[in-house]
Amino acid sequence: MSRRLTRRQALAAVGGVAVAGCITRAPQFWENPPSFDTAGLDAILDEPVPDRPQLASISFESAVAAQFVDRVERLLAPIPNPLPESRLPNSAIRSQITTERRAAREQLPTRYDDHPPFELAERFAEARGHAATAVGTWAAVTTEGEPTAVTDGAGTVRSRVDQLGDTLPGRASDPVAGTAVYGSIERWLDVAERRTLFSSTSISAQEDPLRTGRTVGEIERIQSQIEAGGYLQAQYLETIEEPQTIDRPLRAGIDTLGRDIEEWIQELHDEKEDRLFRYPGIEAFFDRQPVAENAPSLKLLSRALRRTYEDIRFDPVAVEDYEPTHPATTLCRTMLTLVQLSACDELGGLIEDGENLFPEDGATVDSARGEAIGSVVGLAEATNPLQRWLATQILPLFDEPETILSAESPTTREITRAYTEYRWISLVASESESVVSTASEALSS
């Protein structure tokens, strides 16, 4: 539990008095923002974002990777290339086919060994999903096409998800390493079960071809994840000299992290158990607010807390006697949630100290980016696989600020948003070590 939150509890009564009766409109940050000097933005993206780290010493054999690529090409083969308007006048249908075909090819790597195996597996899944969407759509509008013949049915794929799930988490060299590897594979199954493979999911040739194509693509993507998951599990098992079961350590780890999460949430809601899943509001993270309303730091905290609460509500996070279907992924997601809550608390401390997180100039943004990259490199190169796993989760956070800063002329507000996102990355990375330490101790006890 955070030191700051405990102090805040003591100050809560004082805060309540301080705000009582205050009805004047607080100054709004963007009504009178400080000036921003763009100097230092020119070469800000020169240093590349770190590569995704390896979770275990395994790789995708070239021959196996080639089979995944072959499946993508076989899926795309029946679609005329080019597909002109004269052949398919309806532009919505034509566009879905051609866009998905292009996206499928873009996902295919030029060199297999440039990517860690889990990234490669995700790229293959995306590529197969896009390719199947394209051909599924084409099959739905052709006289001889049969969308149900493109990929296996939802029932078949659902039973394969169950079969693979039954073997997870498998044996591992140790509980920490096993959690990182199996947590990643289980995550594919977890998302597939919760977001795609409903009892009503089926490929119907009678439906709108756009929907039919998308369903075919989603099922094919999951099928690819099952194949890659089974393959990577086998690869990992081959590297282990003395495999051990990790079910019991995982249970202990989930219990420990689950208690931490509940303590956090109870405190955010002043011990009111019936409100555990309700968004608590950013005010729970600071006692005084010496920054203007809508200051970038407040907006960042608001975004971060909302994202965290979405995870708590919808992801497999160990709250309130949650019984995990996928224990390794539950431990990983609970750990990530704890890291985010700790980072929110740290951000609350910065706000109390008067930090509005507005960058004075481009050099400040550049420095924040460098710090963010450095902090993630630290995680990616850590010996603890759970720190490396957290790096894989933090790396996508670079996408938004990088997109903003690569635009031709981003506004000061947009640059500020990018800056706050870099600061958030550093905060999350800096909170990772202690949470991973707690998780690792619980797994090893």
Cα separations in angstroms, 29 against 297, 356, 357: 10, 9, 11
Q: Which residues pair with 293 in a beta bridge?
A: 28
- Answer for which of 49, 75, 176, 189 binds other proteins (CB under 8 A) is 75
User: Strand, helix or coil at 28?
Assistant: strand
Residue 281 interacting with other proteins (CB under 8 A): no
User: Strand, helix or coil at 172?
Assistant: strand
Instruction: Tell me which DSSP letter residue 282 carries.
Output: G
- Answer for which of 5, 56, 135, 428 binds other proteins (CB under 8 A) is 135
Residue 151 interacting with other proteins (CB under 8 A): yes
- In the complex, the smallest distance separating the C-beta of residue 107 from other proteins, rounded to whole angstroms, is 14
The stretches of 240-326 forming alpha helices (DSSP H) are 247-268, 296-314
For 345, phi then psi, to 5°, come to -65, -40
Residue 189 interacting with other proteins (CB under 8 A): no
Buried b (16+ CB within 10 A) or exposed e, 29-60: beeebeebeeebbeebeeeebbebbbbbebbb
Structure tokens at 128: 């197969």
- In the complex, the smallest distance separating the C-beta of residue 210 from other proteins, rounded to whole angstroms, is 6
Cα–Cα dist 246/443, whole Å: 9
Measured from the CB atom, is 54 or 142 closer to other proteins?
142
Cα–Cα dist 292/33, whole Å: 10
Cα–Cα dist 191/102, whole Å: 25
- Answer for which of 36, 231, 286, 389 binds other proteins (CB under 8 A) is 231
> Going by C-beta distance under 8 Å and a sequence separation of 6 or more, which residues neighbour residue 232?
58, 60, 117, 118, 121, 181, 185
- Answer for which of 55, 56, 58, 140 binds other proteins (CB under 8 A) is 140
- Answer for which of 24, 35, 143, 200 binds other proteins (CB under 8 A) is 143
CA gyration radius for the chain? 24
Chain residues 301-340 in contact with other proteins, contact rule CB under 8 A = none
Measured from the CB atom, is 98 or 294 closer to other proteins?
98
Taking a C-beta distance cutoff of 8 angstroms, is the pair 169, 244 a contact?
A: no
- In the complex, the smallest distance separating the C-beta of residue 412 from other proteins, rounded to whole angstroms, is 31
Residue 445 interacting with other proteins (CB under 8 A): no
Cα–Cα dist 426/354, whole Å: 19
Residue 47 interacting with other proteins (CB under 8 A): no
- In the complex, the smallest distance separating the C-beta of residue 143 from other proteins, rounded to whole angstroms, is 5
Chain residues 198-227 in contact with other proteins, contact rule CB under 8 A = 205-211, 223-224, 226-227
- Answer for which of 156, 239, 403, 444 binds other proteins (CB under 8 A) is 156
- Answer for which of 5, 56, 139, 339 binds other proteins (CB under 8 A) is 139
Measured from the CB atom, is 32 or 200 closer to other proteins?
200
Residue 146 interacting with other proteins (CB under 8 A): yes
Residue 182 interacting with other proteins (CB under 8 A): no
Cα–Cα dist 12/18, whole Å: 10
- Answer for which of 145, 243, 349, 370 binds other proteins (CB under 8 A) is 145
Residue 383 interacting with other proteins (CB under 8 A): no
- In the complex, the smallest distance separating the C-beta of residue 171 from other proteins, rounded to whole angstroms, is 17
Site string for other proteins, 83-122 (x = CB under 8 A): --x-xxxxxxx-x---------------------------
User: Strand, helix or coil at 37?
Assistant: strand
Cα–Cα dist 96/83, whole Å: 11
Which of these segments, 43-51, 151-159, 305-313, 415-423, binds other proteins (CB under 8 A)?
151-159
List of residues contacting other proteins (CB under 8 A): 64, 67-68, 70-71, 74-75, 77-80, 85, 87-93, 95, 124, 128, 135, 138-146, 149-153, 155-156, 159-160, 163-164, 205-211, 223-224, 226-227, 230-231
